[in-house]
Copies of this chain bind each other. A is one copy, B any other.
C-alpha cells in the first residue's frame, strides 16, 4: 500500500547553507564521484543554481496526482524530486503547481519526466531540471509513495538528502554524508584555486601533476612526424 511519510529528517539547514553556490562537478568529485543524475537532466533556463533538502515523490506514468500530496509535505528551502515508476516524458508540472510550490517556499523541482509552461516558469523564476519539455497533460488516478527512497534519473535519492543543481546538472548528497562532503569540497576548491593560478601563469598540467615520467612508463613516445613512428 502506498504511503506518504510525513516526518522525514532533513539535511541540516546550516549544512545546506554551506553548499549555496557550490558547483555540481566539485561536489560530485568531493564525494567520490557518486550521486550524479543522468546527463539528460537539463535546467529549463540559465543561469540556475539551487541547494536544498529533497522531498521525494513517486508518480505513475502520465499521472501527476501525487504531486499534490507531495506539495503539502514541503517546507521552505525544500527541493521537490519526482520519479516516475516507468519512463515517461509527459508534462507532469506547469505554472499552477509551481505557484503552489513557490507559495510554500520550495526552491526548485527535479523531475525525471516532462514539464510544461516553461515560459511562465522562467518569468516566475522557478527553476526546474527535467528530462523533457512537453505539454502532454496527465491524469489523476493512481496513488504512489511520497517521501520514500526513489531512483531518479539513475541516482538513488532518499527523503531529506541534499540536492544541488546547476547548469551542469544535478547531484544528490546523502543527508548523513553532507557535512563530510563539504569538508572535502572545501579542500578541493582551495586546491583548485592554487592550480588555477598556476595554469593561468602558463604552467602545464604535465608539470603541475608531475605526469611526464608516468606517461613514459606507460609507453607514450614523442615523435616529430608520423614518419618517425
The chain A residues found within 8 Å of chain B, CB to CB, are 1-8, 23-25, 28-29, 33-34, 36, 38-39, 42, 46-47, 49, 60-63, 65, 67-69, 71-72, 85-91, 94-97, 99-100, 103-104, 114, 116-120, 122, 132-137, 139-143, 148-149, 151, 154-156, 166-169, 171, 192, 195-196, 199-202, 204-206, 209, 211, 215, 218-226, 229
Q: Point out the residue from B99, B134, B142, B168 that lies within 8 Å of A135, measured CB to CB.
A: B168
Which B residues lie within 8 Å of A168 (CB)?
91, 116-119, 133-135
Give Cα A201 to B103, complex, Å.
7
Residue of B nearest to A4 (CB): B222
**A104 and B202 contact, CB distance less than 8 A:** yes
User: What are 28 A-B contacts defined by CB distance under 8 Å?
Assistant: A1-B220, A1-B221, A6-B224, A25-B116, A25-B135, A25-B137, A34-B85, A36-B134, A39-B133, A39-B136, A65-B211, A69-B211, A96-B195, A96-B196, A99-B200, A100-B199, A103-B202, A118-B168, A134-B168, A139-B142, A140-B209, A140-B211, A141-B141, A141-B142, A142-B218, A143-B215, A151-B155, A154-B154
**A4 and B103 contact, CB distance less than 8 A:** no
Additional 15 contacts, C-beta under 8 A, given A23-B117, A156-B156: A3-B222, A4-B220, A25-B116, A25-B137, A61-B88, A71-B205, A86-B89, A87-B154, A88-B88, A96-B199, A97-B205, A103-B201, A122-B167, A143-B215, A148-B226
A118 to chain B, nearest CB (A): 5
Give Cα A1 to B132, complex, Å.
29
Q: Given that A6-B222, A29-B137 are known contacts, is A196 also in contact with B95, CB under 8 Å in the complex?
A: yes
**A2 and B221 contact, CB distance less than 8 A:** yes
Give Cα A60 to B154, complex, Å.
15
Residue of B nearest to A29 (CB): B137
Which B residues lie within 8 Å of A61 (CB)?
61-62, 88, 90, 136
Of A23, A97, A114, which is in contact with the most chain B CB atoms at under 10 Å from its CB? A23
